[in-house]
Amino acid sequence: VKKINDGVTHAAKVFPNGYVTMILIGAIKGNGSGFMKILERLLRGVWTPTSVEVMQPSFPTKASIAAGLIFVLDKKTDLISAPHALVYFGICIFFVYFKLSSLLLGIHDPFVPFENLFCAIFLGGIWDSLAQTLAGRKAAAAEKGGDAVKN
């Protein structure tokens, strides 16, 4: 969490109005090993394009982005009125809680329910399910109607 905060603070000094840059630098400092894994695998000769951290982010990357977003909101806006120490402590508790829940309860990515909801609402999941349901009902009605005519 300290590295994420330091990354956001440093990026805020260099790019005072670059909010996305602050979040990205905080995420890269917070989960640098996940991003360096790509280069390391390329240099070893074990290139696996399916494990690119940007395309399929792991929980530490998602959590670093979320923490960077909260630090930017705390630093640059008045949306979070709590003291910085309390925000920092809350993010530390978030990371510790989900690390323990990963080890003890087997919850590996707590962002999955939110991602599924977002995809269902904004990326056409509702419409696809509705179309499949209606197509299934029409097919069932056609089969039922065809069976009634044959009998």
Q: What is the distance between the alpha carbons of residues 132 and 26, in angstroms, rounded to a whole number? A: 42
pLDDT higher than threshold 80 for residue 145: no
Q: Which two tokens stand for residue 98?
A: 């989900």
Q: What is the distance between the alpha carbons of residues 143 and 151, in angstroms, rounded to a whole number? A: 12
What's the mean pLDDT in 8-15?
95
Confidence category of residue 3, pLDDT binned at 50, 70, 90: very high
Domain positions in the chain: 2-108, 111-151
Amino acid making up residue 91 = I
pLDDT higher than threshold 80 for residue 18: yes
Average pLDDT, the chain: 86
Does pTM surpass 0.85? Answer: no
Output the CA angle 15-5-52, nearest 5 degrees.
80
- What pLDDT is attached to residue 50? 75
pLDDT higher than threshold 80 for residue 39: yes
Q: What is the distance between the alpha carbons of residues 130 and 119, in angstroms, rounded to a whole number? A: 14
Q: What is the distance between the alpha carbons of residues 74 and 87, in angstroms, rounded to a whole number? A: 8
